[in-house]
Structure 1
Amino acid sequence: MKQQIKIKKRMSCVSFVVILILMTMAAPLRLQAQAEDIDVRFISPQHDAIWIGVKKIEVRVTGVKPEYLRSVAVYLDGKLVKEFNSPPYRLKYNFGQVPKNRKLEVLVRRRNQRSIRREIHSYYLDDFQEVNVLQVVVPVAVMDRRGNYVSNLKKEDFIILEDGVPQDISYFSKSGKSTFHLCLLIDISASMRDKIQKVKEVAREFLKQLMSKDDKSIIVFFNHEVFEDSDFTSDFNELDNALAIAFPYGATALYDAVAYGVRLMKPIIGHNIIILFSDGEDNSSAIDPYTIINIVKRSNSVIYSIGKKKYMNQYDQYQELLRKISFSSGGITFFLDDVQDVQKTYQKIRKDIQAKFLIRFSPRDKRKRNRFRKITVKLRNKRGYKVRTMKGYYY
């Protein structure tokens, strides 16, 4: 009887050891299973996009519990930006005012297992610069004597000249058929407190009516600073969320905002549009009026300016500057009596954008001279039609 009890005890001990071994073996198996299911990706910024200004860097790690992770580290161009010990893996980062070739990496360190590394890159700017040399993009609006947009023209109807020399048209898009990149610059200085809600409502409806699935937009706010909380996107919900966060305060850095928008669009080839809304003159920019005009002359975007109508000779310099900004780019300037007029103004801008023809040409003179090249667009046998386009470009 005693011997039987001893045997049972030995069997119990053996069973306990076997169970312990199985549990020890099972733990790595669970971790291995989790390792196979783990997904690491950047949510923001977007891969193959332009990273400029203050942007959100966000990493999402799924398929594994946070307690199985040692850390999540974010690197920019090989340098540590931040190391996280728990979610969310999110931060704001200022990429600067000038677009550069950048690389973001995330290193996910797991307990008792190899690390996982993922990376994304900004758009390779040298490719853009090379295309810039080979292709010049010219958006063109044509109107008849009554001020109606003309939409039934063909490639053969257009003549394009650079410094008076005819150029061969390499690409032609009919009116309303070209996709675009749009930058919406919205003033949120303190003076906008009683206007911002209306402006946001109209901007929201404007984007919804204008954009197709192939168009991309970005919203940039400015007061005494310039900032944006999203990348170029075709997702209307993302743009809607960006509009919702605007809260007016501070002074007005109008020139800085325009310069920011121009630099943001500069590396992008295609139909580029900037729409500026501000209710007052600049009182906070680091850039002076002379400099901003020179920056705009080097822009590759059509700029629409919406400002406040002057009374009793107020804002003369401000209004003249807005006119120059839009005129040189082939855009239009609007001055409003009341913020309620902004809806009609956005409708006019939408109509103008959708009426544009898009012409591309490869300049005969490809030598870089760092000078302004004048562009002229004419029509064959179309008397009484008025052509509006960019005045030229620097190369």
Structure 2
Amino acid sequence: MAKRNFLFLWLLSFPFYGGGSGAAQDDSSRIRVSVVLVQLNIAVTDGKGNYVSGLNPEDFSITEDKIPEKTATFEEGNEPPRRLIDVSPSGGHLPQETGKGAVTIVQKSAAGDPVKTPDLWAAGANVFILFDTSNYMYRGFVFAQDSIADFIRSLEGVSKVALYSYSRDLSRVSALTSDRTQALRGVRNTVAGDDAALYNSLLLTVKDAARLTGKKAIVVFSNGPDNASLVPPEDVAELAQSTGTIIYMISTQQAEDEPVSTAVFERMSKVTGGKAYFSKSWRDEKQAFASIRDDLAHLYTLSYYPQPNPNRGWRTITVKLVGKNLQKYHIRTRDGYRLLQQTQSADNLPLPGPDPVSQ
């Protein structure tokens, strides 16, 4: 197994970058990430799986390592986000990040007046579609293209969409854009390839999504297990979880027949706040895409500035609903992130990226 030496120092989502199409092996650099805002995407459902709408910020209780946190921004579905606080919970002025993908924070003058009032991120989600074009897909390639095209057309309330494809290498077919026509054109330009390096490609997609603020999700359409990656799926899942990127997995019966792939897909989606779907037919796949579209439209997005916390490793996030009348509902979201500098492996698959972004 290749030796791995990745350096991750993360808290949320913004500063990972990727550039251009190509294999995961093309670049080598070391990335450091330091962020001040933790963002949660939360689905609230009743006992029948129906979405619960109309909740307010005060209906949610957030703790990090059992330390109560105060909600800084709040967004329901495709509504514009609302800023609830301008200064950090500790009472100090919030630092202002610089660089592409950074969040602008309100700073206060000596008199306590805002120096500037920045805009928050745009309403809606940024969605990356990762399409399996490996040799697993030969039999139903055209049907898969149709399902993805229908999904793109139906994405109301989504800010931008990107289409990536993968076989042994990742191809950024259509960059993140608000132009649905460009993304649809990219779907028709995809061609089937060879082996499937899903986890390599998903890692790079997570890095691209992670630099964005606001709601972001990756929809993976896979027709089979991974047979060519050097990156372990656990590393990909933890990076997505720690950067606030939701992963939805749509796979076919072929992947479901392999217990290892099934377990990986289910865990990867669960820990990031997403879902896994195993489709027995192309009709099931269309229904899975429709379910993901509805999920994105009903998520609550909350963020907070963490209170001082001596824990330098994994920080556990707990979200609860407040009030007796809300205890009957269920919550789905990620349950933590890793702050501590971590060493991981794969000399043959270094993380590409530009200079570090600091807070």
TM-score, structure 2 length as denominator? 0.71
With a CA cutoff of 8 Å and minimum separation of 6, indicate the structure with the bigger relative contact order.
2
Number of the residue aligned with 1:173: 75
Distance 1:374 1:97 in 2: 33
| 1:87-118 alpha-carbon deviations (Å, 9 max, x no partner) | xxxxx999956799xxxxxxxxxxxxxxxxxx
Match status 1:245 vs 2:189:
yes
2:58 to 156, 169, 181: 156
SS for the counterpart of 2:55 is coil
Distance 1:154 1:160 in 2: 13
Number of the residue aligned with 1:210: 155
Number of the residue aligned with 1:323: 266
- Give the deviation of 1:301 after TM superposition: 0.5
SS for the counterpart of 2:63 is strand
Amino acid at match of 1:204: A
Number of the residue aligned with 2:170: 226
SS for the counterpart of 1:341 is helix
Number of the residue aligned with 1:17: none
2:131–2:221 CA contact under 8 A, matched in 1: yes
Number of the residue aligned with 2:283: 340
- Give the deviation of 1:170 after TM superposition: 0.8
SS for the counterpart of 2:154 is helix
2:64–2:317 CA contact under 8 A, matched in 1: yes
Between Structure 1 and Structure 2, the one with more strand by share is: 1
Distance 1:370 1:220 in 2: 34
SS for the counterpart of 2:151 is helix
Query: Pairwise mapping of residues 193-204 of structure 1 onto structure 2 (< 5 A)?
Result: 193-204=138-149
- Give the deviation of 1:289 after TM superposition: 3.7
Distance 1:171 1:378 in 2: 17
- Give the deviation of 1:238 after TM superposition: 1.1
2:17–2:210 CA contact under 8 A, matched in 1: no
SS for the counterpart of 2:130 is strand
SS for the counterpart of 1:206 is helix
Distance 1:391 1:360 in 2: 14
Number of the residue aligned with 2:20: 54
Number of the residue aligned with 2:313: 371
Query: Pairwise mapping of residues 66-85 of structure 1 onto structure 2 (< 5 A)?
Result: none
* Runs of 5+ consecutive residues of structure 1 not aligned to the other structure: 1-48, 56-91, 101-124
* Runs of 5+ consecutive residues of structure 2 not aligned to the other structure: 1-14, 80-122, 340-359
Distance 1:163 1:261 in 2: 29
CA shift in 2, pair 1:96/1:234, >3 Å: farther
SS for the counterpart of 2:287 is helix
2:131 to 180, 186, 204: 186
Number of the residue aligned with 1:350: 293
**Would you identify which runs of 4 or more consecutive aligned residues in structure 1 move more than 4 Å?**
92-100
Distance 1:223 1:142 in 2: 35
Number of the residue aligned with 1:74: none
CA shift in 2, pair 1:350/1:275, >3 Å: same
Match status 1:279 vs 2:181:
no
- RMSD, aligned α-carbons: 2.7
Match status 1:303 vs 2:269:
no
- Give the deviation of 1:336 after TM superposition: 0.9
CA shift in 2, pair 1:360/1:292, >3 Å: closer
Distance 1:157 1:221 in 2: 40
1:236 to 168, 176, 180: 180
CA shift in 2, pair 1:291/1:155, >3 Å: closer
CA shift in 2, pair 1:95/1:52, >3 Å: farther
Distance 2:161 2:156 in 1: 8
1:141 to 30, 43, 63: 43
Number of the residue aligned with 2:84: none
Number of the residue aligned with 2:82: none
1:98–1:263 CA contact under 8 A, matched in 2: no
CA shift in 2, pair 1:300/1:94, >3 Å: same
CA shift in 2, pair 1:141/1:226, >3 Å: same
Q: How many residues align structurally?
A: 280
Distance 2:59 2:29 in 1: 37
Amino acid at match of 1:394: R
Query: Pairwise mapping of residues 14-93 of structure 1 onto structure 2 (< 5 A)?
Result: 52-55=18-21
Match status 1:392 vs 2:336:
yes
2:248–2:292 CA contact under 8 A, matched in 1: yes
Percent identity between matched residues is 24
Distance 2:45 2:29 in 1: 36
- Give the deviation of 1:211 after TM superposition: 3.9
Moved more, 261-270 or 288-297: 288-297
